[in-house]
Homo-oligomer: A and B are copies of this chain.
């Protein structure tokens, strides 16, 4: 397996693109975070990712986690890497300085996160939990809670676990049954079983703060009766240090097809009747609080797709350049397989998706920063709506592609890809969960269609299409025909808005057609981002003809190979009830 190289040139290009696009470069509060600082941070992160995390990735896959008598042991090297990760300050990179973080904006944290995800996804899964858990506490915690939890989490002394799923309550959180009974002292007695808890137990930190969704005794049924509790593994003493056990018991870990290095735990809370938690935010408003973490996790999933795709691309490209097999298509002797047009096609299919989705992921991060720092309320609302619209698209599209890209990477390796020691089969196995956890692709599509489009009468989608249309006016896009192709696609989406938002909206079709619609919108967003990249590339072509020429070729590739699928997807969306409505599965 060839080593991981952080794609610094691509990253810097797309950070700059996101900054310019959102106008963050005009934001005074962030002026210290200039290109020099970004470059320095990315370079340091790249060294850590390549040097410390990537080499542990196959170790974690091969060794996996160990479970014995209620305790989880992580793979060899995990503990030491965790210590270094925290000491270097990576855990709190985009969290407040006041609690021990580095206070960097998200537009810098996003490419850094991508490196961790490329280098060792299974290892670094604690990080989005720390980020999202901290944001929950910052938004919903009392001052005392912030004092109690934030500094240990942000410095990595404690980790965060997110305890949502129960055997009977997965996608449908409203069905959960874990109970929380108030004790009168601000604490609640917690009792219930949760499953699929990432890093629910491990040996890397001195305490674990479980954020547990549960019901109070008089809570309404369904999702409006769910509250959020902080339930530490070890009770917190008056001096803030972890004390005695809080009756939080790991009862097992899953034997998964991928992500072997990340322990996926079943946890029993209060089996001895001795587990206590404190309410975060208000009673029965737990889902709203948890969605802060959930949205963070969904954006992280999208970046996982980018990170896995990039890692596979690097492997496949190295192999394709070295592996000699068969004569060239235009005659002559044996050539490296990268010279075979079908192999080039496969490589480009990964490279183009990675670049388009990476651009989208960085753009979303910059939009979150801009929404935080703008003093213009209307702009803030507009940006928040945009991020809300793009989150399910990015999450689902990038992860569906992660699966396809992992398959393509193996395909480029041929028979060697099927052999575990080559290392690329792991990408396929690891990627497989990304379209499932943090809300399946189907759930993202429903969120897109019903909440994000129908919910605001198509306003946020129209604003996105307007922005894309505006960008097509750039002369390079006019000349190449890319602009006209984009405008044709945006026109097709506009025509569908009344269908989606209409009173007579056929709910069966909207549900069945959601995924094809989401994939079409993801493709449009990638095409748009690749166009913006091509515009920059064209203007800089003289500086580095091969690199920028290739970026222009990527857009060209995408319009030939992926954009035609928009039409197919939207055609399907418009007739999505066909077959699905008539088929009877009960026979």
| A/B interface sample: 20 pairs, CB < 8 A | A169-B325, A171-B325, A175-B325, A254-B419, A257-B429, A321-B585, A329-B511, A330-B507, A344-B580, A348-B580, A415-B437, A417-B436, A546-B584, A549-B584, A553-B583, A557-B578, A560-B578, A564-B567, A564-B572, A567-B567
Closest Cβ of chain B: how far from A433's Cβ, in Å?
5
Q: A170-B415, A317-B585, A550-B583 known; 17 other A-B pairs, CB under 8 Å?
A: A170-B325, A172-B325, A172-B327, A254-B418, A254-B419, A255-B420, A257-B428, A321-B586, A340-B511, A342-B515, A344-B580, A344-B583, A411-B435, A411-B436, A546-B584, A564-B571, A564-B572
Closest to A433 in B: B418
**Bound: A560/B568 CA distance, A:** 9
Near B by CB (< 8 A), chain A positions 419-453 give 419-421, 425, 428-429, 432-433, 435-437, 440-442, 445-446
Closest to A410 in B: B432
Could you say which of B257, B343, B420, B556 contacts A256, with CB atoms under 8 Å apart? B420
Judge if A407 is at the interface, Cβ distance under 8 Å.
yes
**Bound: A560/B569 CA distance, A:** 10
**Bound: A418/B165 CA distance, A:** 15
**Bound: A399/B26 CA distance, A:** 52
Near B by CB (< 8 A), chain A positions 473-516 give 507-509, 511-512, 514-516
**Bound: A282/B587 CA distance, A:** 56
**Bound: A488/B346 CA distance, A:** 29
Chain A interface, >50% SS class: helix
**Bound: A403/B334 CA distance, A:** 30
Could you say which of B432, B507, B550 contacts A425, with CB atoms under 8 Å apart? B432
Asked if B419 and A341 make an inter-chain contact with CB atoms under 8 angstroms apart, the answer reads no
Closest to A508 in B: B341
Judge if A15 is at the interface, Cβ distance under 8 Å.
no
Q: Which 7 A-B pairs have the closest CB atoms?
A: A557-B579, A257-B425, A560-B578, A341-B512, A341-B511, A342-B442, A564-B568
Contacts of A415 in B (CB 8 A): 165, 170, 195-196, 433, 436-437
Closest to A257 in B: B425
Asked if B565 and A579 make an inter-chain contact with CB atoms under 8 angstroms apart, the answer reads no
Interface size on A, residues (CB 8 A): 99
Closest Cβ of chain B: how far from A332's Cβ, in Å?
12
Judge if A576 is at the interface, Cβ distance under 8 Å.
yes
Asked if B418 and A348 make an inter-chain contact with CB atoms under 8 angstroms apart, the answer reads no
Judge if A20 is at the interface, Cβ distance under 8 Å.
no
Near B by CB (< 8 A), chain A positions 385-430 give 403, 407, 410-411, 414-415, 417-421, 425, 428-429
**Bound: A402/B560 CA distance, A:** 25
Asked if B564 and A579 make an inter-chain contact with CB atoms under 8 angstroms apart, the answer reads no
Known contacts A511-B342, A546-B584; is-contact A348 B411 (Cβ 8 Å): no
Asked if B255 and A419 make an inter-chain contact with CB atoms under 8 angstroms apart, the answer reads yes
**Bound: A169/B561 CA distance, A:** 31
Judge if A320 is at the interface, Cβ distance under 8 Å.
yes
**Bound: A561/B503 CA distance, A:** 25
**Bound: A121/B172 CA distance, A:** 36
Contacts of A378 in B (CB 8 A): none
Closest Cβ of chain B: how far from A175's Cβ, in Å?
7
Contacts of A583 in B (CB 8 A): 344, 348, 550, 553-554, 557
Known contacts A348-B579, A560-B572, A564-B571; is-contact A334 B175 (Cβ 8 Å): yes
**Bound: A445/B196 CA distance, A:** 42
Closest Cβ of chain B: how far from A412's Cβ, in Å?
9
Near B by CB (< 8 A), chain A positions 307-353 give 317, 320-321, 324-327, 329-330, 334, 338, 340-348, 352
B interface footprint on A346-384 (CB within 8 Å = 1, 0 otherwise): 111000100000000000000000000000000000000
Closest Cβ of chain B: how far from A398's Cβ, in Å?
15
Asked if B585 and A561 make an inter-chain contact with CB atoms under 8 angstroms apart, the answer reads no
**Bound: A298/B378 CA distance, A:** 61
Closest Cβ of chain B: how far from A435's Cβ, in Å?
6
Asked if A512 and B342 make an inter-chain contact with CB atoms under 8 angstroms apart, the answer reads yes
Judge if A547 is at the interface, Cβ distance under 8 Å.
yes
B interface footprint on A532-563 (CB within 8 Å = 1, 0 otherwise): 00000000000000110110111111111100
Closest Cβ of chain B: how far from A16's Cβ, in Å?
20
Closest Cβ of chain B: how far from A544's Cβ, in Å?
9
Could you say which of B196, B330, B560 contacts A575, with CB atoms under 8 Å apart? B560
